Amino acid sequence: MTGADGQWIKRVRVIASRRLQGRVLLKMSLRRRDRLISILSPFLMLGIWELSARLGMIDTRFFPAPITILKTLLELIDSGILWINTWASLQRLFWGFLVGGVPALFLGIAMGLSRPLRAAIDPLIAATYPIPKSAILPLILLIFGLGEASKIAMVAIGMFYPICINAVAGVLEINKIYLDVGKNYQASRWQMFQTIALPGALPFVMSGIKLGVGMGLILIAIAEMIGARSGLGYMIWNAWEILSVETMYVGLLVIALIGYAFSLVLNELEHWIIPWKADR
């Protein structure tokens, strides 16, 4: 190799290294941009709402200005009422995820790995999934009563279906060659689950968890409106009974903020545990 060839190779390597660094910086800047947009977009909506209320473009009896809602929010925080109701709803959401979401994850992956199990359970899921979850609330109350069990059961049912269905779809999307390799090396069922099925299905599982959390928030608010003495749903219903519109909006706003916070946390978790998907 001549000296000119060596210099040419070095120059090519430098150019390739700079291009690679440029791509990495571009990905980082795009990720920061996406985070900034996701944070600022709700504040933009609130600004338009406030301006519309001040200009008289909307009826403030039904759509109070965000500043008025904020004052009510601070009053409820100062009195401790908001903390009590929010904590009650979050506890029910947590236990509902444990009761419904975790079994759904294991069952979904097991269905994806086992064709007979999928053939046996898939028709049951397909038949019961379209039933509106709010429509079975009277039956849930009849079975579990007016206590905490009925609220947790509603959340568990709402979380079960999206997580289970997405887990099955995630396993079925795994390239069959990886499963064949596991079988050829005589991997146990737990090893297949832990090293092949779960990592391969994670992108779908995370999507199912996001859908499940949203469904859980919807159902916990509905369940708390009947037979509950605490929770954000109870607070909204009680505010409707006494015509406190601002308090109703505070409850809705807190539910929205919880959903938004969960979305941010789950997105960050997804970027951490599924880096190959986060770069897309």
Packed helices 198-224 and 148-172: angle between N→C axes, nearest 10 degrees:
150
Structure confidence at residue 270 (pLDDT)? 78
Q: Where are the strands (E) in the chain, listed by range?
A: none
Q: 74, 253 in Cβ contact below 8 A?
A: no
Instruction: Compute, in degrees rounded to 10, the torsion defined by CA atoms 212, 217, 221, 222.
Output: -20
**Whether pLDDT at 4 is above 70:** no
CATH number at residue 81: 1.10.3720.10
User: Quick check: is 135 in a domain?
Assistant: yes
**Whether pLDDT at 69 is above 80:** yes
User: Quick check: is 200 in a domain?
Assistant: yes
Q: What is the pLDDT of residues 76-90, one digit of tens each?
A: 888 888 899 999 999
For all residues of the chain together, what is the average pLDDT? Answer: 81
Between 155 and 22, the more confident residue is 155
Q: What is the pLDDT of residues 259-272, one digit of tens each?
A: 888 888 888 887 78
User: Quick check: is 222 in a domain?
Assistant: yes
Q: 170, 203 in Cβ contact below 8 A?
A: yes
**Whether pLDDT at 95 is above 90:** yes
Structure confidence at residue 87 (pLDDT)? 92
pLDDT > 70 in the chain, percent: 86
Closest residue by Cα to residue 228 from 156, 145, 155: 145
Residue 226 φ/ψ region, left for φ over 0, alpha for ψ in the -120 to 50 degree band, beta for the rest: beta
Q: 42, 260 in Cβ contact below 8 A?
A: yes
User: Quick check: is 128 in a domain?
Assistant: yes
Question: How many domains does the chain fold into?
Answer: 1
User: Quick check: is 132 in a domain?
Assistant: yes
Predicted model pTM: 0.75
User: Quick check: is 38 in a domain?
Assistant: no
Lowest mean pLDDT among 97-106, 117-126, 262-271: 262-271
- Domain of 127, in residue numbers: 64-278
Q: 159, 195 in Cβ contact below 8 A?
A: no
User: Quick check: is 9 in a domain?
Assistant: no
Q: Which residue has the tokens 């995370």?
A: 206
Structure confidence at residue 12 (pLDDT)? 46
User: Quick check: is 187 in a domain?
Assistant: yes
